[in-house]
Structure 1
Amino acid sequence: MKVGLSLVVLLEIVGYALLAFWLLLVFRVVIEWIRAFSRDWRPTGLTVVILEGIMSITDPPVKLLRRLIPPIAIGAVRLDLSILVLLLVAFIGMQLALGAAANAALS
């Protein structure tokens, strides 16, 4: 059975959009680590614009998951698993979409 080219293109767009979102989440984790370890770091210029873009794109799903998944208290430290769960979901979704696109293109 032939699958339409539009389905393959749609699955690839979804897969690459999830890849871009996954990369933005990785950048967000790096930004949060820099903020945690260097409290006096104050970005300026174009860096502020880029960081604001990353944070505004990734904030809504992260905040939603932070409400659903409470941080785990380990002694005096609280471990936030929301970004880890979001990274995992985005990665699995990306793999599923790109794999389905490859299979659909071959059939």
Structure 2
Amino acid sequence: MSFLLIAVIWLCSAYTFVLFARVALDLILTLARDWRPSSGVVIVINAVYYLTDPPLRIINRFIPPLRLGGIALDVGFILLFVAVRLIQNIALGLL
């Protein structure tokens, strides 16, 4: 049982890192529109989007972005981050 909990904790930590990478990539791609990554970086970018897009699409299907004047805040990303951290904290508590 403890091996399973440790695996869940490790996976949640790794996925949190991937979520932070997604934020960084979105920021880079928004601010540097003419940036063209090399082939190795494209593989990493595709992996990050491959891992984060499916859960974000599911969440955003039910919870649309929050409109704040001229901007839209993606609440789905925040909820996904909170859910991953909550699962990790529950697993830590059970360990």
- TM, length-normalised to structure 2: 0.93
Counterpart-to-counterpart distance in 1, 2:92 and 2:38: 37
Question: Which structure is higher in RCO with an 8 Å CA cutoff and minimum separation 6?
Answer: 1
Counterpart-to-counterpart distance in 2, 1:50 and 1:93: 25
How many residue pairs end up in the alignment?
Answer: 95
Counterpart-to-counterpart distance in 1, 2:6 and 2:92: 6
Counterpart-to-counterpart distance in 2, 1:13 and 1:28: 22
Counterpart-to-counterpart distance in 2, 1:99 and 1:42: 44
Partner in structure 2 of residue 39 of structure 1 = 33
Question: 1:98 offset after TM fit, Å?
Answer: 2.2
Partner in structure 1 of residue 53 of structure 2 = 59
Question: 1:27 offset after TM fit, Å?
Answer: 0.5
Partner in structure 1 of residue 93 of structure 2 = 99
| Structure 1 residues 78-97: aligned runs within 5 Å | 78-97=72-91
Counterpart-to-counterpart distance in 2, 1:81 and 1:38: 24
Q: Percent identity?
A: 31
| Structure 2: gaps (5+ residues) | none
Question: 1:99 offset after TM fit, Å?
Answer: 2.6
The runs of 4+ residues in structure 1 deviating greater than 3 Å are none
Partner in structure 2 of residue 4 of structure 1 = none
Counterpart-to-counterpart distance in 2, 1:52 and 1:43: 11
> Please, what is the CA RMSD of the aligned residues?
1.0
**1:42 alignment partner, SS class:** coil
> Which structure is larger by alpha-carbon Rg, 1 or 2?
1
Question: 1:69 offset after TM fit, Å?
Answer: 1.0
